[in-house]
Structures are given as structure tokens and as C-alpha cells.
Homo-oligomer: A and B are copies of this chain.
């Protein structure tokens, strides 16, 4: 394992300190560690957004704190949901009196810990709504499992709900928009290589030089199937087909196409992937109206990518285009 780190058990501490040093518009609450909040929070009368989860998915979530997106992010240990304490601290720190929306990726740990924090916040008189994101079509038979995972689609929920909160929507409205985005977004990922959790020191699974995993999550868990390595175009087709079938997306739909890198994938490869995905969608009469390409929802140093499609309507386009000013996503300001 070769990483630019010091003590493996200090990676999250030091990365959060780095985020604080690099982005003076953010404020890090040290006790309980670690809450990354907007410096201008709480904003009286505005709904506040809190998200969080295990670390190792950077820039998710800390890199999305700022104007038009999250009010606070709560990073847990690597790949481990934070406990209720910092989630509660974040909720209290950013509540401006209009209530707080928790955006939770659908993992047992995240759901349970956010649930407890929400109960505690409620007991302290803070109104909390929770939206659970579960966009990953790789999990089949979701009735017989812990359900679909929340993966790259989480970013889209955070951006669009954040824009709604910024313009002054009520908690119920912001939550409804977040749920609508979640209902319209689908993702699927793949890995060329596993990732290595710093304190584990060994790869999260073994993969031969001629094998890839299709349908991976973002915690280094193995995927839905292991297949022989193939050219990018074939991989894109394998990812897109179940996404399109699932919602389903159909000819005439307008979509946001998001090609996401898993952490160690060079941008040049993501563009090769994007090219094919755009080509396939065009052939199906699906209009790519908005795009995003980059490593935004990652899995430490995993090599691979995920593809996310969000069905758009005018209201969602307006919210997507609205100004955002965060370390990792920024436009219009």
C-alpha cells in the first residue's frame, strides 16, 4: 500500500484539517469531530441540509458544503457511518429555524445512525426530515436485501435540494424535491481495481489483471459479477443498459448524464467513457441536456467509474443550473 498519508488511523483527521485550511469559507467543528459547516450557517429562516457518511468518498460530502448545496457534512471514519453525536451537532449548528433535511445514503449503518440523530434533534425541538438515497441499480431484488445503495446520485440530490433550500423553499418542499430527484436517478458502477482502506493495508478484494467487477458499490465491496476485462465501449454498454431499463428512461426523455470516477481514474478515461455513453443515449433518442464528468463520489483509490442518469424536467434543470459555490462544485457565483 502506497499512499500520501501519515498514520493510517489519522487520515480522516488530517484530511479534514486540510479541507479547513484550503477552504476558509468552511468551518470545522472540532468537538465532536468532525463537522464541516458553512461559515455563514445557521442562515435564519432557510432550510438547512446535512449529509454525511463514511469517509473515503471525497469530495463527497465535505466538498459539497457551501452556497446552494449542503450546510454541513459529517464525515465518519473511512467507509463507516458517523455516530449520532456529530450528526446531531451538525444539525444543531446549522438549523436556522426552518428545519433541517438529512440526506442519507441507503446503508444500514448510515440509516440507523442518522435515525438516532434525528430523534435526538427532534427531542431538542429541531424539525428534521430525512431522505434516503438509493440510486444503485446494481442491487437486484431490493425487496430481499438491505435495499439499493446510495451512490453517485447522492451528489445530484444534494445539489438540487440545496438550490431549493437556497431559494427559500420550506422543509416539506425541499424534502419533496430531494425525493423526486431520488425517484428519477439511477446509477451503476464498475471497478478495474479494488481500493485499499488505509488501516486495513490490503486491497478490499482481489482482482486479476484480466478481470473487472461490474456493479460495485463505493465501499470496496465486490460487485454483482466478475467478468473478463474488455474495451471501454463494452463496459459502458453493460453499465447503461440496466440503468436505462430500470426507470425506464425512454426516447424523448431529457437527462443529466454524469460520468463519475472512482478515485484513481484519470479524467482522460472518463471522457472516453462519456463519449460512448452520449453516443448510446443519442441512438436511443434520449437527450443529454446537462452533463457532469469527474471524480466526485469516490471509493478511495479504486480505479473504475460509474454512470448516473437523472431524468430532468424544467424545474429540475432550473435548480441544477442555480448558483453553487462549494470546494468541488462551483458555478454562477
Residues of A bordering B, CB below 8 Å? 2-7, 11, 14-19, 21-23, 55-56, 58-59, 63, 192-193, 209, 212, 229, 231-233, 235, 259, 263-276, 278-279, 288, 291, 293, 295, 298, 300-301, 303-305, 325, 327, 330-333
Q: Which residues of B contact A305 (CB under 8 A)?
A: 4
Contact across chains for A2 and B56 when beta carbons are under 8 A apart: no
Instruction: Please tell me if the beta carbons of A271 and B18 are within 8 angstroms of each other in the complex.
Output: yes
10 contacts between A and B (CB under 8 A): A4-B270, A5-B231, A6-B232, A14-B271, A14-B275, A21-B288, A22-B259, A22-B278, A22-B291, A264-B265
Residues of B within 8 A of A16 (CB): 271
Per the bound structure, the CA–CA distance linking A55 and B271 in Å amounts to 13
* Residues on B with beta carbons closer than 8 Å to the beta carbon of A209: 2
Cβ A266 vs Cβ B6 within 8 A? no
CA distance A279 to B212 in the complex (A): 40
Q: What is the CB-to-nearest-CB distance from A193 to chain B, in angstroms, rounded to a whole number?
A: 7
Inter-subunit contact B268/A300 (CB<8 Å): yes
A271 near B22 (CB under 8 angstroms)?
yes
Other-chain contact of A274, B18, B265, B267 (Cβ < 8 Å): B18
Query: Separation in Å of the A230 CB from the closest CB of chain B?
Result: 10
Residue on B nearest A15 in the bound complex, by CB: B271
In the assembled complex, which residues on chain B have CB atoms less than 8 Å from the CB atom of A301? 264-266, 303
Chain A interface mostly helix, strand, loop or mixed? Answer: mixed
Besides A4-B235, A266-B298, 19 more A-B contacts (Cβ < 8 Å) are A2-B212, A3-B269, A4-B232, A4-B269, A4-B272, A6-B233, A11-B268, A14-B272, A14-B275, A15-B271, A18-B272, A23-B291, A58-B267, A58-B268, A263-B267, A264-B266, A265-B301, A301-B303, A331-B333
Please name all residues of chain B whose beta carbon is closer than 8 Å to the beta carbon of A56 when the two chains form the complex: 268
A78's nearest neighbour on chain B, judged by CB, is B268
Distance in Å from the Cβ of A258 to the closest Cβ of chain B? 10
A14 to B276, CA, bound (A): 9
Q: In the complex, A83→B56 CA distance in Å?
A: 41
Kindly list chain B residues whose C-beta atoms are within 8 Å of the C-beta of A23.
291
Partner of A333, one of B59, B263, B332: B332
Q: How far is the CB of A232 from chain B (nearest CB, A)?
A: 5
- In the bound complex, what is the Cα–Cα distance between A5 and B270 (angstroms)? 9
The 4 A-B pairs at the shortest CB distance, nearest first, are namely A18-B271, A18-B275, A264-B264, A4-B269
Q: Are A275 and B17 in contact (CB under 8 A)?
A: yes
**Complex CA distance for A21 and B289, rounded to whole angstroms:** 11
A18 contacts across to B, CB distance below 8 A:
270-275, 278, 293
B2 close to A275 (CB less than 8 A): no
Q: Please, which residues of chain B bring their CB within 8 A of the CB of A259?
A: 22
